[in-house]
Structure formats: C-alpha cells, structure tokens
Amino acid sequence: MYLCSLSVRALLFVGVCQVGRRGFVSATETKEQPKKIAVIGGGIGGTSAAYFLRQEFGSSVKIDVFEAGTVGGRLATENIRGQDYENGGSIIHPLNLHMKHFVDRLGLSARADVSSKAAIFNGKELMFEESEWFIVNFLRMLWRYGFNSIRMHMWVEGILDKFMRIYQYQQFGYSFSSVEQLLHAMGGESFHVLLNQTLEEAMLADGFSQVFINDIVTPITRLNYGQSVRLSAFVGAVALARADSGLWAVDGGNKRVCSGLMYHSKAELIQARVTAISTRTRPSKSGTVTNFYEVNYVGDSGHAHSLYDIVIVATPLHQGLSDISFSGFSPPIPSHFPGRYHQTMATLVLGRVNMSYLGSDHKPADFVFSDILTTDNEELEIISLSSLDPINIPKGYQRPPASSSKVWKIFSSTPLSEEQLGAIFESREGVWVKPWLAYPSYTPPQRRMPPFILHDRLFYLNAIEWAASSMEMSAIAARNVALLAHHRWHGQTGKIDQEDLHTRLRGEL
Ligand SMILES: Cc1cc2nc3c(=O)[nH]c(=O)nc-3n(C[C@H](O)[C@H](O)[C@H](O)COP(=O)(O)OP(=O)(O)OC[C@H]3O[C@@H](n4cnc5c(N)ncnc54)[C@H](O)[C@@H]3O)c2cc1C
Ligand SMILES: *[C@@H]1O[C@H](CO)[C@@H](O)[C@H](O)[C@H]1NC(C)=O
Ligand SMILES: *[C@@H]1O[C@H](CO)[C@@H](O)[C@H](O)[C@H]1NC(C)=O
C-alpha cells in the first residue's frame, strides 16, 4: 500500500516548523504561577501534557501524574519468548511532528526499517498482492482502478497540508477552547464537513469509484480503526495517511516516549486510580477565597486526596475506560460522555500460518507479505493478520519466512475461538490475547464533541479522539490544553480561539 511519496511542500514545512521556539515571552504575567497541577492518565496524552505544562509554567510548579495501570496506556508491548512486540498503537506518520520532536528531545531513535509488503484478503483469496517494485504496483493499480489510487494520495495530501497548520499555531502559542475550533482553524468549513460525512460519502462525492473504495480504502480503514468506510471522513483520512511511505515506530517500543516524557518533565508519578474530582474553596492570605480541585484517589496505601490549582483529565471519559465522578460542578460534569469505544481484540500468535486459509498457493518459504488486510466480508472473522518484528531490530535482522514459527498479530472485533485459530494456523506454540477498547466508534454525522474545558481550570484532553484517535492527536491535544491552561490562568485571551490565523501568520513564516 505504500505507493505514495510525501509532497515536497509538506517536507519543507517540517523544516520550517522545527526552527525556533515561539516568540512571546511572559512579560505581561501578573498573577502568581500555579503551585500544583494534576494530570490523570499516564498514556501519551497525559505524559506529553506533563511535558508541555512544564514548558508553559516553568520549573517551580509541582506536576503529579496519576496512573492506575502502566505508564504508556494504549502504547504497550508483549513479551514473547524473551522478545518484546508492539501490541497497542504501533505506527507513526513521518509528518507527526510532536512525536518526532519527543523522540529527538529524549535521545530516542526510530526503529530500524524492515521492508514490508501488504496483501488484501477477501475471505477466499489474496485479491491484491503488493510487489517489491514501485512501478509494478503503480501499473497494477492503474490497470484495475484507473487514477483512483493516485488521486487518493493527492486527496489525503490536501487534508494533511491543512492539518500541518496546527504546528505553526502552537509554535506561536495559540490555543483553542474546543475540538471544533481547533479543526476549524486548520481546515475551515471543509474540516467540519469531513467530520459530518462518512469517508465513503466524501470519496464518492469526489469521484472515487465504489470498487476502489471497497477493494482498497475499506481494508485500510479496517486495519487502522477496525471500522468500515462508514466512519467519518476526517478519521478516514488519518487512516489513509497510514498507507503513506516513511511510517516509523520508536526503537525499543513506542511507550518509551511516555516514560521519557515523565522523566524529562520532572513530574511525579502517583500509582493510583482517581475516583472523584470536586471543587473546594479556601480563604487566602489576602482575604479573598481561592478555588481548588480536590482529587480523590485509591492506591496501594488506600484512599487519599490532594488539592490542585489545575487538573488535566487525560483518559477517555467513557464506559469501560475510566470511572471518575465529578461533584460540586454546575453545570454538572458526567462520568461518561455519549458514544462508545470500539472493541479491537489483538491476538498474538507464535506459530505457522496455514497457507490454504489465505487461499494462497505461495510456498510458505516464499510467502513474503507482512500485512494482510481484509475487505468488508461478513463471514471473515479477522480484520487483519500481520507478521510482527521485535521492538529492537538486531543488526542483519531478516524477517523469518512464513515457513518458520514466528509472531503474528491478528485484529478482530470479537474473541477468536479455538476452531478459528485452528483454521488460520497449522501450528501454535503460544497465544496472547489483549482486548482493547481501542478508539471511538465513529458514526457520523458527529454530534457535538466532548469539550476541552470541563470547568474553569479543569481540562479534558481525550475529547480530541472524537475527531481522530492517534498518538499524535493526543500530543496535539496535550499541547493545546497546556497552552489553554496557561492562557486562562494568566488571562491571555488574545491567544485563545483567534480567527483567521492562517492568513495572519502567513507573514510570520
Ligand atoms: C490496537 C490499537 C492500535 C492502534 N494503532 C495506532 C497506530 O498505529 N498509530 C497511532 O498513532 N495510534 C494508534 N492507536 C491509538 C493510540 O494508541 C491512542 O490514540 C493513544 O495511545 C491514546 O493515548 P492517551 O494517552 O490519550 O490515552 P491512553 O493511552 O488510554 O492513556 C490513558 C491512561 O489513563 C489511565 N487511567 C484511566 N483511568 C484512570 C484513573 N481513573 N486514574 C488514573 N489513571 C487512569 C489508563 O490506565 C491509561 O494508562 C492504536 C490503539 C490501539 C488500541
Ligand atoms: C453536522 O450535522 C449535524 C446534524 O446533521 C448538523 O446539526 C450540523 O450543523 C452539521 N455541521 C456541519 C459543520 O455541517
Ligand atoms: C490447512 O488447512 C486445510 C483446510 O483449510 C486443511 O485441509 C489442512 O489439513 C491444513 N494443514 C495443516 C498442516 O494443518
């Protein structure tokens, strides 16, 4: 699927973005700095929030990160016979500038590249097989789908070009009070339309063929979001961007970014589950009252609570993902917002695939496909089947052929039975199952998204997942809420929800 190369324009933009910190200094700041900030959730969202909060508020503020499970959250690895494999969020786009910045800043690096090839399975046979040769792929695509494939890459690139504007806005310190405002600043009305239409509707309206959408686009949205082309066009475009070339992962595992950001931000990790957040007031020295948030939590040593000036919720407020009650707020804040998260089962199998399951007459020793995507076929129990490489690629590593026992990852929306696994594999040495509530179930037209601002100084980072869920989206939301928290604390309203930033900042480049 990796038929596209990035536009020169987009690449140049990377260069521009990486230069210099933003210009404004906090000379106008009069109010004291906050003393304590709580971040709830130690995934990529919460840990990057800690990093950006440190950047905004300086070294004196105390930042506590609450984590009920493991730092990394949905970035997680599985150890199989002494090697670790990426099990949650795995792929990063070359233009994900925050992720790139973190990796540089933390002294990490991208994992060595192992060339990969995709095939598409329709339940009977491999109906598309990627070749080693760009030109062969190009001609096959042209033969079957006319210019659909090339136009798809241009279509995604057009969206990506607008998407990239967020980095410049954030560089200059601008923030947005809602997901809708943030997206509007990037792509205007066109982005709102993308949220309200299905990917299928949007692509049909732009002249893509139904056959191309069924054969090529659907397998890509299924692989990335476990959902068909009836998800919203915006998150669909994010999925399609993951068919670009130059995709990468972090050497040693993506979750290393989270622990690195924790260390770098000098935040304190509190291993506990937050159960409730409420408002508290206290008389202050000057005779006025000061407002705090009381965070209640349960850890190994029982129940406890602490007061904070600012709180960032960095976990989805949805059924099955977190259960935090909010009290004393008017209007009330719900524990769970409308909408649900989509279940994706990740089943890791150490074994040998039965070629006849794939209807393939390749000899296992010559079977080179690393990613097998699937079309939307009701009888198919799997969404994808991928050969995994470890998170550390040793020198001279070569991906084992399908004839040897190796690690495969299957995504499916329901657990796989013994019989189903037996049909896919001719031998199994071990099976590891991880059920994820992975990302929102996207059903456009999109109702109102959850808000970034839950209360005066209480923010909700994962609202952004309702536009699209990815590591980079969480990092963008983290920087946005850190800026928002800063500007609201210091009353710098000129940096919030500014109109027409794209034209205004053009001169600044
Ligand atoms: C199978 C799968 C594949 C994916 N593939 C990709 C991909 O290829 N590329 C990509 O960019 N993205 C991918 N994603 C999405 C990506 O992983 C997520 O968007 C991202 O990791 C979300 O990070 P987060 O920090 O916002 O949330 P999370 O990682 O969910 O972090 C929230 C944290 O909060 C903690 N928590 C919850 N409740 C409480 C509480 N009450 N008190 C204290 N702590 C609490 C949780 O334990 C968790 O660690 C994938 C996701 C899955 C599941
Ligand atoms: C999206 O759809 C909803 C419901 O159909 C509608 O109320 C809203 O105005 C639409 N928004 C945009 C930006 O088109
Ligand atoms: C592979 O699957 C086919 C049927 O799909 C079955 O007949 C065959 O025995 C299997 N091979 C092995 C080695 O299990």
For the stretch 384-427, pLDDT in tens is: 999 999 999 999 999 999 999 999 999 999 999 999 999 999 99
Instruction: Give the residue, out of 64, 67, 74, 391, with the most ligand 1 atoms within 8 A of its beta carbon, to mutate for a pocket test.
Output: 74
Pairing of strands 310-313, 36-40: parallel
pLDDT above 70 covers a percentage of the chain that reads 94
Backbone angles phi, psi at 386, to 5 degrees: -130, 140
Alpha helices in 242-325 (DSSP H): 256-264
Instruction: Give the residue, out of 124, 125, 352, 354, with the most ligand 3 atoms within 8 A of its beta carbon, to mutate for a pocket test.
Output: 354
- 363 by DSSP, 3-state: which? coil
Of ligand 3's atoms, which has the minimum distance to the CA of residue 357? Answer: 5
Instruction: Give the residue, out of 179, 195, 196, 446, with the most ligand 2 atoms within 8 A of its beta carbon, to mutate for a pocket test.
Output: 196
Of ligand 3's atoms, which has the minimum distance to the CA of residue 355? Answer: 1
Q: Nearest C-alpha to atom 14 of ligand 2 is from which residue? A: 193
Cα radius of gyration (the chain):
23
Overall fold of domain 36-73+254-338+444-499: FAD/NAD(P)-binding domain (3.50.50)
Class of residue 23 by CB neighbours under 10 A (exposed 0-12, middle 13-18, buried 19+): exposed
Residue 143 CA to ligand 2 center (angstroms) comes to 38
Residue 353 CA to ligand 3 center (angstroms) comes to 10
* This prediction's pTM: 0.94
Any residues with Cβ below 6 Å from ligand 1, and which?
Answer: 40-46, 66-69, 73-75, 88-91, 273-274, 314-315, 322, 324, 344, 346, 436, 438-439, 462, 469-472, 474
pLDDT band at residue 289 under the 50/70/90 scheme: confident
What are the sequence ranges of the domains in the chain?
36-73+254-338+444-499, 77-161+210-250+341-440
* Secondary structure, 3-state, 126-158: EEEECCCCHHHHHHHHHHHHCCHHHHHHHHHHH
Tell me, using a 6 A CB cutoff, whether residue 426 lines ligand 3: yes
pLDDT per residue as tens digits for the range 206-238: 999 999 999 999 999 999 999 999 999 999 999
Nearest to 156 by CA among 262, 5, 297: 5
pLDDT band at residue 20 under the 50/70/90 scheme: very low
Residue 422 CA to ligand 3 center (angstroms) comes to 9
Q: Nearest C-alpha to atom 9 of ligand 2 is from which residue? A: 196
Residue 404 CA to ligand 3 center (angstroms) comes to 16
pLDDT per residue as tens digits for the range 152-181: 999 999 999 999 999 999 999 999 999 999
Tell me, using a 6 A CB cutoff, whether residue 427 lines ligand 3: no
Q: Can you tell me the mean pLDDT for 173-202?
A: 96
Q: Rounded to whole angstroms, how far apart are CA atoms 217 and 111?
A: 27
pLDDT per residue as tens digits for the range 467-488: 999 999 999 999 999 999 999 9
Residue 289 CA to ligand 1 center (angstroms) comes to 37
pLDDT beyond 90 at 508:
no
Q: What residues does 290 pair with on adjacent strands?
A: 282
Omega before residue 331 within 30° of 0, cis: yes
The 10 Å Cβ neighbour count of residue 209 is 14
Any residues with Cβ below 6 Å from ligand 2, and which?
Answer: 192-193, 196, 445
Residue 18 CA to ligand 3 center (angstroms) comes to 54
* Ligand nearest to the Cα of 234, by number: 2
CATH class for the region spanning 77-161+210-250+341-440: alpha beta
